[in-house]
Structure 1
Amino acid sequence: MAIAITIPQSVGSTVHYQQHPRSEIIQYQTVRYDILPLSPLSLVRINQMKRKILVLDLDETLIHSHHDGVLKPTVRPGTPPDFMLKVLVDRHPIRFFVHKRPHVDFFLEVASQWYELVIFTASMEIYGAAVADKLDNNKKILNRRYYRQHCTLELGSYVKDLAAIHSDLSSIVILDNSPSAYRGHPDNAIPIKSWFSDPGDTALLNLLPMLDALRFTSDVRSVLSRNLHQHRLW
């Protein structure tokens, strides 16, 4: 599959071979993004636009994790985590086994060139900060972070107030698998299906062309308000 979008350098994902539970060998093909220079008109347009903010959820959006003591982990037994965290919760050490959504590193690399990235998770800070550090990997692209204490508890769900990030909501996009998290700002949201363990998932890749296009809009809500949050998930 080849999708052409504009990025400063040519990069691509890796071909993965996975063993199916029924002993079938499944090949996931390389996804390539070819370089296309911006036209003079597009260059003028993008230079007139303010840099926008992309707010990113963690669990089931960028990663999935489970911890010691889970009776029925959602990840197939024997699947190794991408990294492990040891976190003290109420003075008790807990190990989290974290799996990265396919293509998340590539997604963050590209999106960080287009947007200011902000992590906003309903998880506790001690856990969310550790996960964000691993995803950032010293690239300094995930410096702004918001956690559970920055959410509002409404009807049993943690709601994320985008106005706490920036007063100008015309320039903020939130990517979150939980519609209740952005119930106050549905016109700023891009829905994404929850991810747990599917190694063939391409949801993050599928979003890149749309995120590229939103950079050129003066108000992201003019696009995202068209009931996008009620349609199919990416």
Structure 2
Amino acid sequence: MSFLRHSWRLLQASSESAAASRCCRSFSEAASTSGRQGATPSGSAAASSSTAPASASAAASSAGAGGLPGSRLGGTSRLFENVKPMAAEEVSAATAEAPSEPGAAMRMLTTAGNAALLGLLGAGAFFGYYTVRYDADTLQTVVQETHKEENQFAGSSVWLPVMEWYLEQRIYLQSEIKKYQDPPSESLLPPLPQGASHVRTLVLDLDDLLVHSDWTRGRGWRTFKRPGAEDFLKQMAQLYEIVLYTHALPTYADPILDRLDPSRFIVYRLYRDSTLYQHGHHVRELSKLNRDMSKVLFVTSDPEACKLHPTNTVLLKPWKLEGGDHTLLDLMPFLDAIYRANPPDVRKIVEGYEGQDIPTAFRERMRLAAEEQQRKKASRRGLLKSIYRPQ
């Protein structure tokens, strides 16, 4: 609406400027006409002076006394007498005629704009209600039921075609979005070689697990390696098939991994396009790795990344450049114990640490187990001493 008001003001200004320019032209034409009329009497006086000397001397005396300026003054007064009515008439005609046509156009534009705005608001409220209130499947069921004669209502002949069109557009749009939300394939990794079904897969996240990227005004973006990351990769590569699964783009992740893992201990790299985009988060879809889920462990520091498979996940504290961090090194004994124990399903072991920090809890359990073993050894030695003690 502000645009329409601005256009109307421009039309008013242009009409007033056009009227003013016409007034100026009328003023200049009147001035030139009056000048010619004032010059004609002096010319006739000069002609009469050649035939009548008395008249010439009279004309000369009157000219010497200021007859010529007087004639100009008289012409100027006649000029303003003629100009004032013309300017007033033209200005009044311009101001009377100019607003009429733009005013009608302005009213038409305003009415059309208001109608279009109200229509858009109404359509947005109508379709927005059905978008929020119903999912596509439920709404499709409602439309199918409304086609039955006993479920029809007043206005259903209009409502049904509109809702069918809306459903068609909504389903199409959701299918297009789903292409970008879901992983590109049902099998993100090639199958294991024949005879390697016993191999366990260790899936690692990148940000705040192996590295941390930080920005400051002084140095810009820099990526820091977590303490123990290189040793962790080197040791775990001897026990597991290592897969990196990150929400980052290849343009960000590849340069980091090339420097972090020059020996290529990480066998496969999966990026953002292989994640499942769900509720604003890039979730790792481990079931599409083409691996036995009972032999897959996922290590991450992002709680949102592991929502689909919590029993396969070892959740660590995120690293934010804290000094003295040794989380990865503390995790190595746990992963080594799983490899050596070779349990039929790693998910049962992870469930036993639910709600705990696994490296810390495992270390504590190992300490208690060692103490128990020492007590058993001591009691066994005491029993032997009591058996062989001389009487």
Same fold (TM over 0.5): yes
Where does residue 66 of structure 1 map in the other structure? 214
Q: Distance in 2 between matches of 1:131 and 1:163?
A: 26
Q: Distance in 2 between matches of 1:65 and 1:233?
A: 25
Deviation of residue 233 (structure 1)? 5.8
Deviation of residue 168 (structure 1)? 1.0
Where does residue 44 of structure 1 map in the other structure? none
Structure 1 unaligned blocks of 5 or more:
1-47, 72-76, 79-94
Deviation of residue 183 (structure 1)? 0.6
Q: 2:224 aligns with which of 99, 105, 116?
A: 99
Question: 1:119, 1:132 within 8 Å by CA — same for their partners in 2?
Answer: no
More strand as a share of residues:
1
- The answer to whether 1:54 aligns with 2:178 is no
Where does residue 204 of structure 1 map in the other structure? 328
Where do residues 113-132 of structure 1 align in structure 2 (5 Å cutoff)? 113-132=238-257
Where does residue 223 of structure 1 map in the other structure? 349
Where do residues 73-92 of structure 1 align in structure 2 (5 Å cutoff)? none
Residues 117 and 196 of structure 1: CA distance in aligned 2, closer, same or farther (over 3 Å): same
C-alpha root-mean-square deviation of aligned residues, in Å?
2.1
Question: 2:249, 2:272 within 8 Å by CA — same for their partners in 1?
Answer: yes
Deviation of residue 140 (structure 1)? 2.2
TM-score, scaled to structure 1: 0.64
Q: Distance in 1 between matches of 2:358 and 2:290?
A: 26
Deviation of residue 180 (structure 1)? 1.2
Give the partner amino acid of 1:152.
Answer: L
Q: Distance in 1 between matches of 2:324 and 2:206?
A: 19
- The answer to whether 1:141 aligns with 2:265 is yes
Single out whichever of 48-57 and 171-180 deviates more from structure 2: 48-57
Deviation of residue 96 (structure 1)? 4.1
Q: Distance in 2 between matches of 1:52 and 1:60?
A: 24
Deviation of residue 66 (structure 1)? 2.5
Describe the superposition over 1:172-230 as per-residue Cα deviations: whole angstroms up to 9, x where unpaired. Answer: 1000001210111101010110001112001001101110111122211110123x342
Residues 163 and 49 of structure 1: CA distance in aligned 2, closer, same or farther (over 3 Å): closer
Question: 1:58, 1:121 within 8 Å by CA — same for their partners in 2?
Answer: yes
Q: Distance in 2 between matches of 1:146 and 1:229?
A: 27
What secondary structure is seen at the aligned counterpart in 1 of 2:324?
Answer: coil
Aligned residues: 162
Report which of the two structures shows the higher radius of gyration computed on alpha carbons: 2
Question: 1:49, 1:218 within 8 Å by CA — same for their partners in 2?
Answer: no
Question: 1:66, 1:97 within 8 Å by CA — same for their partners in 2?
Answer: yes
Structure 1 residue runs of 4 or more that deviate by more than 3 Å after TM superposition:
none
Give the partner amino acid of 1:105.
Answer: E
Structure 2 unaligned blocks of 5 or more:
1-195, 360-391
More helix as a share of residues:
2
Question: 1:191, 1:229 within 8 Å by CA — same for their partners in 2?
Answer: no
Where do residues 161-200 of structure 1 align in structure 2 (5 Å cutoff)? 161-200=285-324
Describe the superposition over 1:146-193 as per-residue Cα deviations: whole angstroms up to 9, x where unpaired. Answer: 111111111111100112223410111000001210111101010110
Deviation of residue 232 (structure 1)? 2.8
Q: Which has the higher contact order (CA 8 A, sep 6+)?
A: 1
TM-score, scaled to structure 2: 0.39
Give the partner amino acid of 2:246.
Answer: T
Question: 1:53, 1:115 within 8 Å by CA — same for their partners in 2?
Answer: yes
